[in-house]
């Protein structure tokens, strides 16, 4: 097969691992810088051009689109889709997953476990917003934050009001969420590939830190998921329409709760913690799907 990995940097661990796994399985692989692609969208024969030449037809693409380039990155992925190339994570699903609020709304509609969450733009009653998610302590999150930046724990209603007012003064969109204390500063990262949890790890925040992000000094270890946790992760991936994603769960007294579904999950932390070949699983899944996609398009 001919596979393209859409990634801005071939040196990144996840990009390298996917490249190696595809090569090892005997495929032709190119790493393509998404932002260097340009497209002809006017003709009835959609193409993608790159460094002055038309790109060949790929059987499959693996989009690794950073949060800061979602708009253009998903447009490039969509162009490949229009050319009949199999895309492991469809562009619409990536766009959907990048909007935290929209994701939570979709997950809640399908009854996936979530922390109680409120969202508001300019509420005249901040006290009620806090009360509505169960009162302090609450977690306040910037909608556009990543890697734990812009995630604040407010212990008291007074502190929560001040933080909410401050964020709103900056015209930032925020979520107000019930604090799941019993998670103990830990969360579960479940790596889903093709409707299976292929690896899972528990991330524990550093001493005195409620955020478990590895970038914030958290540590990771292998974890055995309960049936409910596995089902919740798979359900979340399905609702989001993602074949390859990371689902972050909190262990709460009321069962597993989804915090986030990530459409470009990093492989470094999870492969190091579990010693599993996640990249290999991604390629295996693509082999099955791209073949089915090719035979469908010749039939059609």
For CA atoms 239, 220, 8, 66, the dihedral sign is: positive
**Please, which residue, 85 or 212, has the CB nearer to ligand ADP?**
212
189 binds ligand ADP (CB under 6 A): no
Cβ at position 68, least distance to ligand ADP in Å: 14
Q: Which of 24, 36, 147, 162 binds ligand ADP (CB under 6 A)?
A: 147
Q: Considering only 34-42, 59-67, 141-149, 222-230, which stretch makes contact with ligand ADP by CB under 6 A? A: 141-149
Q: Which of 59, 229, 260, 277 binds ligand ADP (CB under 6 A)?
A: 260
The three state secondary structure string of the chain is CEEEEECCCCCCHHHHHHHHHHHHCCCEEEEECHHHEEEECCCCCCEEEECCEECCCCCEEEECCCHHHHHHHHHHHHHHHHCCCEECCCHHHHHHHHCHHHHHHHHHHCCCCCCCEEEECCCCCHHHHHHHCCCCCEEEEECCCCCCCCEEEECCHHHHHHHHHHHHHCCCCEEEEECCHHHCCEEEEEEEECCEEEEEEEEECCCCCCCCCHHHCCEEEECCCCHHHHHHHHHHHHHHCCCEEEEEEEEECCEEEEEEEECCCCCHHHHHHHCCCHHHHHHHHHHHHHHHHHHHHHHC
Cβ at position 93, least distance to ligand ADP in Å: 18
Q: Which of 145, 194, 241, 266 binds ligand ADP (CB under 6 A)?
A: 145
Q: Which of 179, 198, 223, 265 binds ligand ADP (CB under 6 A)?
A: 179
177 binds ligand ADP (CB under 6 A): yes
Cβ at position 249, least distance to ligand ADP in Å: 10
**Please, which residue, 149 or 292, has the CB nearer to ligand ADP?**
149
Cβ at position 204, least distance to ligand ADP in Å: 9
Q: Which of residues 198-227 bind ligand ADP (CB under 6 A)?
A: 205, 210-213
**Please, which residue, 89 or 177, has the CB nearer to ligand ADP?**
177
**Please, which residue, 46 or 150, has the CB nearer to ligand ADP?**
150
254 binds ligand ADP (CB under 6 A): no
Residues binding ligand ADP (CB under 6 A): 115, 139, 141, 145-148, 151, 177-180, 183, 187, 205, 210-213, 248, 250, 259-260
């Amino acid at each position: 097969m001919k596979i393209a990995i859409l990634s801005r940097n071939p040196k990144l661990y996840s990009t390298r691992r996917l490249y190696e796994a595809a090569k090892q399985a005997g495929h032709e692989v190119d790493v393509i810088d998404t932002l260097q692609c340009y497209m002809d969208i006017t003709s009835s024969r959609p193409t993608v051009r790159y460094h002055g030449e038309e790109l060949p037809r790929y059987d499959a693409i693996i989009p690794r689109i950073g949060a800061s380039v979602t708009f253009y990155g998903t447009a490039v992925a969509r162009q490949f889709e229009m050319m009949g190339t199999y895309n492991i994570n469809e562009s619409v699903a990536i766009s959907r997953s990048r909007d935290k609020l929209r994701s939570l709304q979709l997950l809640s509609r399908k009854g996936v476990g979530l922390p109680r969450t409120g969202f508001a733009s300019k509420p005249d009653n901040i006290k009620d917003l806090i009360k509505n998610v169960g009162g302090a302590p609450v977690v306040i999150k910037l909608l556009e934050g990543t890697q734990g930046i812009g995630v604040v724990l407010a212990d008291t209603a007074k502190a929560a009001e001040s933080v909410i007012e401050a964020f709103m003064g900056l015209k930032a969109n925020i979520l107000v969420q019930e604090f799941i204390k019993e998670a103990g500063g830990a969360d579960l990262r479940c790596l889903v590939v093709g409707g299976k949890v292929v690896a899972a790890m528990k991330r524990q925040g550093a001493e005195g830190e409620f955020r478990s992000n590895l970038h914030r000094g958290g540590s990771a270890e292998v974890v055995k998921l309960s049936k409910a946790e596995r089902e919740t992760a798979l359900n979340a991936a399905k609702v989001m329409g993602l074949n390859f994603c990371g689902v972050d769960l909190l262990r709460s007294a009321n069962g597993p709760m989804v915090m986030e579904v990530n459409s470009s999950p990093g492989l470094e932390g999870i492969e190091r913690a579990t010693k599993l070949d996640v990249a290999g699983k991604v390629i295996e899944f693509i082999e099955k799907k791209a073949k089915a996609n090719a035979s469908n398009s010749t039939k059609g």
